[in-house]
Amino acid sequence: MFWQVFKFFLLLLSGATVFYQLGGNSYALACVGLLLLAVCWSIFEQYKRARLLRWLQRADFDNRPTLVGDLGVVVDKVIRLHRQQEKINDQSVQRLEDFLSAIQASPNGVLLLDEQLSIEWCNQTAASHFGIDMQRDLYQLLANLVRDPLLSQYLKEERVDHEVVILAPGSKPETPRKLSLQLFRYGEGRRLLLSRDITQIELAEVMRRDFVANVSHEIRTPLTVLSGFIETLLFLPVSDEERRGYLELMAQQSNRMQILVNDLLTLSKLEGSPVPSKSEWTQVMVLWQQCEQEAKSLSQLLYPDNPQTITFNIDDSVRELEIAGSRNELLSAMSNLVSNAVRYTPGGGAILVKSEDIGSGAMEFIVEDSGPGIAPEHIPRLTERFYRVDRSRSRESGGTGLGLAIVKHVAQRHDAKLSITSKLGKGSRFALKVPSERLRKYQ
């Protein structure tokens, strides 16, 4: 500023001197010169300020005006501040984009609602939960898009201290989907609505309750029998022959409970242990021979007077193979398939067990029986725990209802696939397909 004032007075002094000399030492002409120079200086300064003002109004910060002096300093300062602000804005935009990306990646739905409960924004999960199209439904009332009385009442009451569970829009009666919603207030009258798909959680809870009920029921029956026989032996006089009969029945019920507990422990171990390594190899023939021995022993025990016909066939190419995985788990799966066929096939029936090379290096372990068969509506649920087509027959044959559940888990842990086909009155076919990645020739 001082330099500008100094230059102004220096210009006036120089001009006055020139006009004074040109006018023959006339003070009047010197004064006129001073006035003209002052006017020109003022016009020039106004011109520069006008250029600066137009530049600021256009906000054309990429094209810097050629101004010097104090105005040039102002221009530099403005450009520097603008660049700093741009950097701050870019950082803010990036943080906002990162924040929105994080919300988009959330497994929970997020809905932002304004004061009228209209949709301002939602992530893709929420759009999927509520069937919302953000381009079409932006700023639409949520209650108009999701016609559910529970949701309408919840939004009206704004009870942020609890969740509400509704059926997801488009949910089908045969496969209902449930959403858990919770509302929060934020900002000036705005709302945040969180949604969670709890369908699998509810299914798991139902399965847990059913599982506990089934286990309790399965154990209660033999315990009741044991308790009754123990009271009889303790408080009533019985003959040696009757005592022996009671003890044999008690042994049967005790064995039944032991089988059930063993199957439960097997399932628990399968669900809680790591996937079997592919570095452990077991010969197919070792598993095969043990299954054959167990099947024939069980058949002889169950049907001593009317034996079944059990045939074991194995391809020569399969005899040379080894399977990668847990030997005990694989034996359990194969043994369960064979023992199920023995238990559910009447005396005098036929059972065929075979292993085949099905091409591409894969193998299939197949069990076919001539039993009563299974109705189509039961087949999808056969691998559920404790699911039985005929409960009374299952108990008579000594089944626990856990065998196929164990087979399914073992198959999944060994990259195998279990398939079931059956026709009522014509028997059933169970096939366990083992992929080539789990097989190799015996070394």
Do 310 and 404 belong together in one domain? yes
Is residue 11 over pLDDT 80? no
CATH code assigned at 354? 3.30.565.10
- Measured between alpha carbons, how far is 142 from 148 in angstroms, rounded to an integer? 10
pLDDT of residue 32: 60
Mean pLDDT value of segment 357-372:
88
Do 251 and 350 belong together in one domain? no
Do 82 and 223 belong together in one domain? no
Do 427 and 292 belong together in one domain? yes
SS3 label, residue 217: helix
Do 63 and 81 belong together in one domain? yes
Under DSSP, the state recorded for 118 is B
Among the candidates 48, 65, 98, a domain finishes at: 98
SS3 label, residue 132: coil
309-314 vs 350-357, strand pairing mode:
parallel
Among the candidates 244, 273, 302, a domain finishes at: 273
Do 291 and 417 belong together in one domain? yes
Residue with tokens 């201290």: 161
pLDDT of residue 429: 92
Residue with tokens 């300062």: 77
Question: Rounded to two decimals, what is the model's pTM?
Answer: 0.57
Mean pLDDT value of segment 16-21:
55
Amino acid (one-letter) located at 138: L
pLDDT of residue 352: 92
pLDDT of residue 379: 85
Structure tokens at 423: 């026709």
pLDDT of residue 430: 93
Do 299 and 424 belong together in one domain? yes
Do 74 and 155 belong together in one domain? no
Do 297 and 368 belong together in one domain? yes
Residues 6+ apart with CB under 8 A from 333: 406, 407, 410, 411, 432
Among the candidates 149, 178, 197, a domain finishes at: 197
| pLDDT one-digit tens code per residue, 109-142 | 999 898 888 998 888 888 888 888 888 888 888 8
pLDDT of residue 35: 65
Nearest-CA neighbor of 288 among 262, 326, 340, 323?
Answer: 323
Q: Where in the sequence is the domain holding 345, given as residue range(s)?
A: 277-441
Residue 158 contacts residue 144 (beta carbons within 8 Å):
no
Q: What is the overall mean pLDDT for the chain?
A: 80
Do 62 and 10 belong together in one domain? yes
- The tally of CA atoms less than 13 A away on the side-chain side of residue 76 is 7
**Alpha helix locations (H) across 236-326?**
240-272, 284-302, 316-319
CATH code assigned at 129? 3.30.450.20
pLDDT of residue 211: 72
Do 20 and 74 belong together in one domain? yes
Do 285 and 415 belong together in one domain? yes
Q: What domain count does the chain have?
A: 4
- Structure confidence at residue 256 as a pLDDT band (50, 70, 90): confident
CATH code assigned at 213? 1.10.287.130
Please tell me the least confidently modeled range out of 265-274, 296-305, 308-317.
265-274
Regarding predicted confidence, which is higher, 145 or 388? 145
What is the side-by-side strand order in the sheet with 417-423? 309-314, 350-357, 363-369, 427-434, 417-423
